[in-house]
Amino acid sequence: MRDVFKIFFHTGWRQQLLIVFALMVSGLVEIVGIATLWPIVGLLGGETHMKSHAIDEYVRWGLAELNLPLTIEVLLLIIVGAATLSFVFGTAGSVFVGRSVANFGTSVRLQLIDAMVHAKWSYFVAQPVARYTAAVNSDADRASVAFKASALCLSGLIQTLVLMGMALFVSWPFFLGAVAVVAVLWLGVGRYMRMAKKAGRGKSKHNLALLHAVTDALTNVKALKAMNRHSFIGHTFAVHVERLRRATQAETYSTSAVRAVQEPLFTILILGGLFIGHSVLGMDLRVMLGSTLLLKRVADSIGTVRSNYQRVVLERPSFWHLQHLLQEVRANREHLSSGKMPSLPATIEFSDVGFAYPGKQVMRGANVTLAAGELTTIIGPSGAGKTTIADLVAGLHQATDGTVKINGLPLQEIDMAGWRRQLGYIPQDSILFNDTIINNITLGDPTVSRGQVEAALKAADAWGFVSKLPGEMDFTIGVRGSLLSGGQRQRLAIARALIGDPKLLILDEATSALDKKTAKEISRAARALTGSRTILAITHQALWVRAADRVYEIRDGKVTTAPAGVN
Ligand SMILES: Nc1ncnc2c1ncn2[C@@H]1O[C@H](COP(=O)(O)OP(=O)(O)OP(=O)(O)O)[C@@H](O)[C@H]1O
How many A from CA of 526 to the centre of ligand 1? Answer: 25
Lowest mean pLDDT among 32-36, 368-372, 424-428, 499-503: 32-36
Residue 559: predicted pLDDT: 92
The pLDDT mean for the chain works out to: 82
**Which of 2-5's residues contact partners 24+ apart within 8 Å by CB, and which partners?**
3/150, 3/312, 3/313, 3/316, 4/150, 4/153, 4/154, 4/309, 4/312, 5/150, 5/154
Residue 102: predicted pLDDT: 82
pLDDT tens digit string along 260-313? 777 777 777 777 777 777 787 776 666 676 677 777 777 788 888 888 888 888
Assess whether the C-beta atom of 359 lies below 6 angstroms from ligand 1: no
Mutate to test the pocket of ligand 1, among 124, 378, 387 (most ligand atoms within 8 A of CB): 387
In this prediction the pTM is 0.71
Residue 232 has pLDDT above 90, yes or no: no
Assess whether the C-beta atom of 121 lies below 6 angstroms from ligand 1: no
Task: Give alpha helix (H) positions in 276-284.
Answer: none
* Separation between Cα atoms, residue 246 and residue 310, nearest integer Å: 18
Candidates 3.40.50.300, 3.40.190.10, 1.10.3980.10, 3.90.1150.10; correct CATH number of 348-562? 3.40.50.300
Residue 510 has pLDDT above 70, yes or no: yes
Nearest CA to ligand 1 atom 6: 357
CATH hierarchy code of domain 2-331? 1.20.1560.10
Strand 423-426 with 504-508, pairing: parallel
Residue 42: predicted pLDDT: 65
Fold match, 2-331 / 348-562 = no
Assess whether the C-beta atom of 78 lies below 6 angstroms from ligand 1: no
Q: Where are the beta strands (DSSP E) in 277-395?
A: 348-357, 360-370, 375-379
**Which has more confidence, 439 or 127?**
439
Range 481-509 average pLDDT: 86
* Separation between Cα atoms, residue 30 and residue 247, nearest integer Å: 38
Mean pLDDT comparison of 149-158, 338-347, 465-474, 506-515, highest-scoring range? 465-474
How many A from CA of 503 to the centre of ligand 1? Answer: 26
Assess whether the C-beta atom of 285 lies below 6 angstroms from ligand 1: no
* Separation between Cα atoms, residue 199 and residue 188, nearest integer Å: 19
* Separation between Cα atoms, residue 468 and residue 466, nearest integer Å: 5
| Cβ pair 104, 11 in contact under 8 A | yes
**Confidence category of residue 155, pLDDT binned at 50, 70, 90:** confident
* Separation between Cα atoms, residue 535 and residue 526, nearest integer Å: 8
* Separation between Cα atoms, residue 93 and residue 87, nearest integer Å: 10
For 188, phi and psi rounded to 5 degrees? -60, -20
Which amino acid, residue 270?
I
Nearest CA to ligand 1 atom 7: 357
Number of helices and strands in the chain (H, E): 20, 10
In 3D space, the residue among 5, 78, 3 whose CA is nearest the CA of residue 37 turns out to be 78
pLDDT tens digit string along 128-151? 777 888 888 888 888 888 988 888
Name the residue ranges covered by the structural domains of the chain: 2-331, 348-562
* Separation between Cα atoms, residue 356 and residue 90, nearest integer Å: 61
How many A from CA of 383 to the centre of ligand 1? Answer: 5
| Cβ pair 348, 370 in contact under 8 A | yes
Q: 463 by DSSP, 3-state: which?
A: helix
